[in-house]
Amino acid sequence: MSRLVVWICGSGAAFADAAQPLSPTNIFAPASTPAKSIFGLSLLVLAVTGAIFLIVFSLLLYSVVKFRKRKSDDGREPPQVYGSNQVELAWTVIPVLIVLALFMATARVIASVQGIARSDNAIEVIAIGHQFWWEYRYPALGVVTANELHVPVSDDNHPTPTSITLLSADTDHSFWVPRLAGKTDLIPNHPNSMWFDPHQVGVYLGQCAQYCGTQHAKMLLRVYVQPRDEFDRWVHEQSQPSQIGDNTSAGERIFESTACINCHTVAGTVAHGRFGPDLTHLMSRETIAAGAAPNTPENLRLWIRKPDAIKPGSLMPAMQLNEQELDALTAYLETLR
Amino acid sequence: MSTESIAWPSATAESRSFVDRLHDWIATVDHKRLGLLYIAYALVFLLIGGIEAILMRIQLIRPHNNFVSPQVFNRLFTMHGTTMIFFVVMPVMFGFANYLVPLMIGARDMAFPRLNAFSFWMTAFGGLLLYFSLVGANGLYGAGNAPDVGWFAYAPLTSQTFSLGHSTDFWTLALLVSGFGSIGTAINIIATILCMRCSGMTLSKMPLFAWLNLIMAGLVILAVSPLTAAQIMLLIDRYLGGHFFDTQAGGSAVIWMHFFWVFGHPEVYVLVIPAFAFASEIIPVFSRKPIFGYPVMVGATVAIGFISMSVWAHHMFTVGMSPAANTFFVISTMAIAVPTGIKIFNWLATMWGGKIEFKTPMLFCIAFLFQFLIAGLTGVMQAAAPFDWQLGNSYFVVAHFHYVIVGGILFTLFAAFYYWFPKMSGKMYSETLGKLHFWLFLIGFHLTFDFMHIPGLLGMPRRIYTYEPGRGWDTWNFIVTIGVFFQAAGILVFLGNLLWSYFRGKSAGSDPWDAWTLEWSTNSPPPAYNFYTIPTVQSRRPLWDLKHPDDPDWKYE
């Protein structure tokens, strides 16, 4: 039945095949419990609505073809029928029963996804939406990072769900990684929460799903699901101060004497800004500008010189540095591992 | 009942100067002229909103396209949504209601002709105010011009902090001003239907068109009032130091969502119930049968009206409501599928056993039935809140509500245009061009909006000015954009047909469809006073009774 339903929605059985998803953000390729609960419900809903569609579509098509005016028409009016209470009753009661069944199935999934008790071994993360990037804080682990969320994989023997508190620093945003869970909004002054327990290691993609301003489109989400030991190693590295040489480099001096430090933090230095992403371990991230570009020296340099070339309308200002300063600053950022 | 009319002083009217005739239109309080003004005004904005849609689709034809900047794209989708809802569909529905309700109930005009003119001009100036933002909104800040906060303008994006300059103010004032116009027209429609029916026309003998517009007008009053209140609160926030929606000072972004959607969802029914009204008049005439289950159709629409007031938070399943609240809005939303389904079944039963004539209006109505069925079913999918946690704010939603608004409402609107064009202009449209329009638009509609569901299922959120390659969205977006050009071609054929037929079309006569409601008993176009003598009716189909004295309806009703 489920295969039939999946076929109805357009693209054959491959649509629901998690190993070869049509898209890294396919909602029909769930990889964690909440996404799987939703997937199960969606199959039921698709089956019911699909059946209704086939029946009513056929009836409509039949009546349009069968009762068309023929060329041989005698010009007389057809029998005038005004209605039938029995028929009306039938097509009222049957939909009511269908709606009740769908409602009960839906209510059960709402309770199972929203009503879950917090687990003791859950990883607690605070996600804060900013225009136009994501801040992640792990209060129990002493880690602060941006745009690339790292979580451990969860299996039946060692369930380690991730529980996320969702906050916003400015406008509304929405956290949506389709293969892990449905979306939940980040609303200022209105803390929300969500959870998932990824079953497979890998990188899961998504993006902001609530319009939040000019660069809503490039507020991308990346979730790195890692084996537990790899995740612990990552946590250990992230909780160290950045490894910087004893001598203050030219690039560091530029960083600390320009507006950079108004917005960015580098732990262990004078840079304590919180408006932009924490750069303490910048080079441990694969992307910059909330996933808009790969983290390469060329892109970093371009991002400082002309942010609009990568993400027009982002709140990162063009820093107006000369070529030597740009080289030195990029070299400094390259040391933030 | 007389179809004869007294002489209309046309000779003197023809010879008057252009300025005099313009003055006649601007100063008119005639419901028919105001109806035509509403309709013409909506057609102009339909073109503007359509061009905005085309620009957006060109930008999205491939990933990382640079056709427009993100700033411009955000203004385009804000203006497209605001224009199409408030300055196309609402005015055009008011226009048809204005033109047809008095004719169908055998009245000489609306109950309050001057309020009618006032309401139209409020709506018209509201629309002009929205577009005046393009030149007027820069303010002192050099900030953006047209509004870019989205058509539902979620707080706190609309606060002074995030929306510099005056673009949001133009948006707010445009909706405020046109909102007064909408409420005025709604009061007028209600008063007209309740007080101006001709002799013999009890409520249970009114054409369904009048019933459905009565319910629509009631919904307008209930829905537009909270929107107007919210706009005033937003203005207080922006200029008088209020904190209703100012989250940085303890205000609530969620309260705006409630205010907006307690307007926004009934608004969907404000738009679609008149579309049902068109279908309920046109399908019987071209099936040659009375509407099946008239009392049930009225009851189902009343039920839709009531239930539609209790479903608004299904737009908010992802904002973190409690499981109990989510569950309530699931059942209320699914419940509305029942009366809506009943309506589809009744239209089906009206065609059943009839002799269906595939004239252009009927073609559009048949396409409406198929498309509205699909739109309703994708609506049920999203009513299942957990499924909506995935589908909400994705392109699936965009496809769903365009299926309702284009596939449902716009298709029946085209049907209404072709069906009543002979009455309004006195000329018959070109059936060939009408069918060409139908097929072009049908192909374009399905290319665009069928395929638009798929990127939504594959994780593409709405309101993004560009997207990443490698997400499996490219092909679908390409097809969607191609479809838009078919739709645009269809619209051009439609406008060409209206103009050509108006100037070159054959005379239509007073009753070209052999129809049954009162507007077909008077001249085409009707004289200013509508009826030579006020008619008396005995059944829901007075002209059937007249044409079939041996087998009149009043024997059965």
> Which CATH number goes with the domain that contains B37?
1.20.210.10
Q: Is the pLDDT of residue A1 over 80?
A: no
Cβ separation A26–B458 shorter than 8 A? yes
* B8 inside domain: no
* B9 inside domain: no
Q: What is the predicted pLDDT for the residue at A16?
A: 45
What stretch of H or E contains B80? helix B70-82
Q: What is the predicted pLDDT for the residue at A8?
A: 41
Q: Which of B352, B373, B391 sits opposite A57 (nearest CB)?
A: B373
Q: Are residues A175 and A257 in the same domain?
A: no
Q: Is the pLDDT of residue A13 over 60?
A: no
B169-199: per-residue pLDDT in tens? Answer: 999 999 999 999 999 999 999 999 999 999 9
* A245 inside domain: no
Q: Are residues A195 and A256 in the same domain?
A: no
For A65, nearest residue in chain B (alpha carbons)? B356
Q: What is the predicted pLDDT for the residue at A21?
A: 61
Q: Is the pLDDT of residue B5 over 90?
A: no
How would residue B556 be classed by pLDDT, with cut points 50, 70 and 90?
A: confident
* B266 inside domain: yes
How would residue B38 be classed by pLDDT, with cut points 50, 70 and 90?
A: very high
> How close A42 comes to chain B (CA, Å)?
6
* A77 inside domain: no
User: Which residues in chain B (125-164) have CB-CB distances under 8 A to chain A?
Assistant: 148, 150, 154, 156-157, 161-162
Contact list in B for residue A25 (CB cut-off 8 A) is: 458-460, 471-472
A69 touches B: beta carbon within 8 Å? yes
Q: Are residues A10 and A110 in the same domain?
A: yes
ipTM value, please give it. Answer: 0.92
* A7 inside domain: yes
* B186 inside domain: yes
Q: What is the predicted pLDDT for the residue at B3?
A: 46
Mean predicted lDDT score pLDDT of chain B: 94
How would residue B134 be classed by pLDDT, with cut points 50, 70 and 90?
A: confident
A40 touches B: beta carbon within 8 Å? no
User: Which residues in chain A (19-38) have CB-CB distances under 8 A to chain B?
Assistant: 21-28, 35, 37-38
User: Which residues in chain A (105-134) have CB-CB distances under 8 A to chain B?
Assistant: 105-107, 109-111, 113-115, 131
Show the domain range for A15.
2-67+84-114
Contact list in B for residue A38 (CB cut-off 8 A) is: 386-387, 389-390
Q: What is the predicted pLDDT for the residue at B144?
A: 63
User: Which residues in chain A (198-227) have CB-CB distances under 8 A to chain B?
Assistant: 205-218, 220
* B6 inside domain: no
Q: Are residues A256 and A301 in the same domain?
A: yes
Alpha-carbon span A268 to A247, nearest angstrom: 14
For A180, nearest residue in chain B (alpha carbons)? B390
Show the domain range for B417.
24-555
Average pLDDT of span A167-176: 97
What stretch of H or E contains A185? strand A184-186
Q: Which of A14-28, B22-36, B339-353, B357-371 has the lowest mean pLDDT?
A: A14-28
Q: Are residues A146 and A225 in the same domain?
A: yes
- Read out DSSP for B209-236? HHHHHHHHHHHHHHHHHHHHHHHHHHHH
Query: How many helices (DSSP H) and strands (DSSP E) are in chain B?
Result: 19, 0
Q: Which of A9-18, A168-177, B236-245, B484-493 has the lowest mean pLDDT?
A: A9-18
Q: Is the pLDDT of residue A302 over 50?
A: yes
Q: Are residues A56 and A134 in the same domain?
A: no
Q: What is the predicted pLDDT for the residue at A73?
A: 86
Contact list in A for residue B473 (CB cut-off 8 A) is: 23
Q: What is the predicted pLDDT for the residue at B140?
A: 52
Nearest in space to B399 (alpha carbons), one of B330, B455, B469, B470:
B455
How would residue A245 be classed by pLDDT, with cut points 50, 70 and 90?
A: low
Q: How many domains would you assign to chain B?
A: 1
Q: What is the predicted pLDDT for the residue at A240?
A: 87
Q: What percent of chain B has pLDDT over 70?
A: 96
CATH code of the domain covering residue A184: 2.60.40.420
Instruction: For residue B513, give Cα distances in angstroms to A74, B289, B422, B530.
Output: 17, 13, 10, 19
pTM of the predicted protein model: 0.94
* A105 inside domain: yes
* A162 inside domain: yes
Calculate helix-pair angle for B411-425, B360-383, nearest 10 degrees: 150
Q: What is the predicted pLDDT for the residue at A117?
A: 67
Q: What is the predicted pLDDT for the residue at A19?
A: 46
Q: What is the predicted pLDDT for the residue at A5?
A: 42
Alpha-carbon span B132 to B145, nearest angstrom: 9
B468 touches A: beta carbon within 8 Å? yes
Q: What is the predicted pLDDT for the residue at B75?
A: 95
CATH code of the domain covering residue A46: 1.10.287
Q: Is the pLDDT of residue B142 over 90?
A: no
* B539 inside domain: yes
* A237 inside domain: no
Domain boundary (A229, A259, A291) is at: A229
Q: Are residues A22 and A98 in the same domain?
A: yes
Q: Which residue has the higher pLDDT, B521 or A12?
A: B521
* B14 inside domain: no
Name the amino acid, one letter, at B520: W
Q: Are residues A97 and A132 in the same domain?
A: no
Q: Which of B331, B355, B389 sits opposite A182 (nearest CB)?
A: B389
Q: Are residues A6 and A97 in the same domain?
A: yes
Q: What is the predicted pLDDT for the residue at A246?
A: 63
Q: Which of B157, B352, B390 sits opposite A67 (nearest CB)?
A: B352
What are A125's strand-pairing partners? A164
* B200 inside domain: yes
How would residue A10 be classed by pLDDT, with cut points 50, 70 and 90?
A: very low
How would residue A241 be classed by pLDDT, with cut points 50, 70 and 90?
A: confident
For B71, nearest residue in chain A (alpha carbons)? A214
What stretch of H or E contains A34? helix A33-66
Q: What is the predicted pLDDT for the residue at A248?
A: 76
Q: How many domains would you assign to chain A?
A: 3
Q: Give the single-character DSSP code of B87.
A: I
Q: Is the pLDDT of residue A18 over 70?
A: no
